């Protein structure tokens, strides 16, 4: 890649960053931090975050999608190398962190001899949060995760795996507490 191509790419990246920063500035009540490849970012104009917001896409093919009427108390941190999707009407309490990646693969025996910040990023799969999900304060959502429609995640939970729709989940790791009958579906 020539120097001109690199300069053009850097300017395009900066223009994308500024476009998102000015647009999201009106939707975020606290500090706003944007990192990485923002070409895969999709945020509904009805999204609101009352506190700080950190969005980071750390691969060229990574995606973050935030649906209509999503509301967050903040601070909210979402980072991706593959895909993080929030459905319509999701309600997020304060101090929520979602990430679809880890620093290094635990299957690599040499990974523990490298500083975490120097390890390559590794994903086990995407994070998909269904419509009308409610997530309590201080919750971490890790890869891979699928949360069904209208599920409720209790405060201080650590979420990974498949969580049923219309069901209350809580704990570390999050486990189902009860189901909102009549139709608990995935």
Q: Is residue 131 in some structural domain?
A: yes
Q: Quick one: tokens of 61? A: 């093919």
Query: Can you tell me the distance from the alpha carbon of 83 to that of 62, in angstroms, rounded to the nearest whole number?
Result: 6
Q: Is residue 184 in some structural domain?
A: no
Q: Is residue 10 in some structural domain?
A: yes
Q: Is residue 185 in some structural domain?
A: no
User: Are residues 139 and 160 in contact, defined by beta-carbon separation less than 8 angstroms?
Assistant: no
pLDDT at 106: 77
CATH code: domain of residue 61: 2.160.10.10
Enclosing domain of residue 55: 3-177
> In which band, very low, low, confident or very high, does the pLDDT at 165 lie, cut at 50, 70 and 90?
very high
Q: Quick one: tokens of 102? A: 């880890």
pLDDT digits (tens, 9 = 90+) for 81-123: 999 999 999 999 999 999 999 998 878 888 888 898 899 999 9
> In which band, very low, low, confident or very high, does the pLDDT at 181 lie, cut at 50, 70 and 90?
low
Mean predicted confidence (pLDDT) in 13-34: 95
Q: Is residue 169 in some structural domain?
A: yes
Query: Can you tell me the distance from the alpha carbon of 131 to that of 121, in angstroms, rounded to the nearest whole number?
Result: 28
- The rounded Cα 14 to chain-centroid distance in angstroms is 22
pLDDT digits (tens, 9 = 90+) for 33-59: 999 999 999 999 999 999 999 999 999
- Is pLDDT above 90 for 149? yes
Q: Is residue 182 in some structural domain?
A: no
pLDDT at 183: 56
pLDDT at 182: 59
> In which band, very low, low, confident or very high, does the pLDDT at 179 lie, cut at 50, 70 and 90?
low
Helix (H, G, I), strand (E, B) or coil at 17: helix
The distance in angstroms from the start CA to the end CA of the chain is 46
For the chain, how many structural domains are there in total? 1
pLDDT digits (tens, 9 = 90+) for 54-82: 999 999 999 999 999 999 998 999 999 99
pLDDT at 161: 97
Q: What percent of the chain shows pLDDT beyond 90?
A: 84
Lowest mean pLDDT among 2-16, 80-94, 130-144: 2-16
Q: Is residue 186 in some structural domain?
A: no
User: 121-122 and 102-103 as β-strands: parallel, antiparallel, unpaired?
Assistant: antiparallel
Q: Is residue 99 in some structural domain?
A: yes
Other CB atoms within 10 A of residue 86 CB: 28
Q: What percent of the chain shows pLDDT beyond 70?
A: 96
């Amino acid at each position: 890649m020539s120097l001109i191509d690199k300069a053009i790419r850097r300017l395009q990246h900066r223009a994308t960053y500024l476009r998102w920063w000015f647009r999201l500035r009106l939707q975020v009540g606290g500090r706003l931090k944007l990192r990485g490849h923002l070409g895969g970012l999709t945020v509904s104009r009805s999204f609101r975050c009352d506190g700080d917001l950190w969005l980071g896409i750390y691969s060229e093919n990574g995606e973050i999608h935030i649906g209509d009427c999503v509301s967050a108390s903040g601070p909210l941190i979402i980072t991706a190398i593959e895909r993080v999707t929030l459905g319509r009407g999701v309600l997020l309490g304060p101090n929520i962190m979602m990430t679809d990646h880890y620093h290094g693969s635990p299957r690599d025996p040499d990974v523990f001899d490298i500083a975490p910040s120097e390890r390559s990023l590794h994903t086990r799969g995407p994070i998909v949060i269904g419509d009308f999900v409610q997530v309590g304060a201080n919750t971490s959502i890790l890869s891979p995760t699928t949360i069904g429609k209208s599920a409720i995640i209790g405060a201080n939970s650590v979420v990974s795996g498949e969580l049923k729709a219309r069901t209350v989940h809580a704990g570390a790791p999050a486990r189902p507490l009860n189901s909102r009958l009549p139709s608990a579906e995935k």
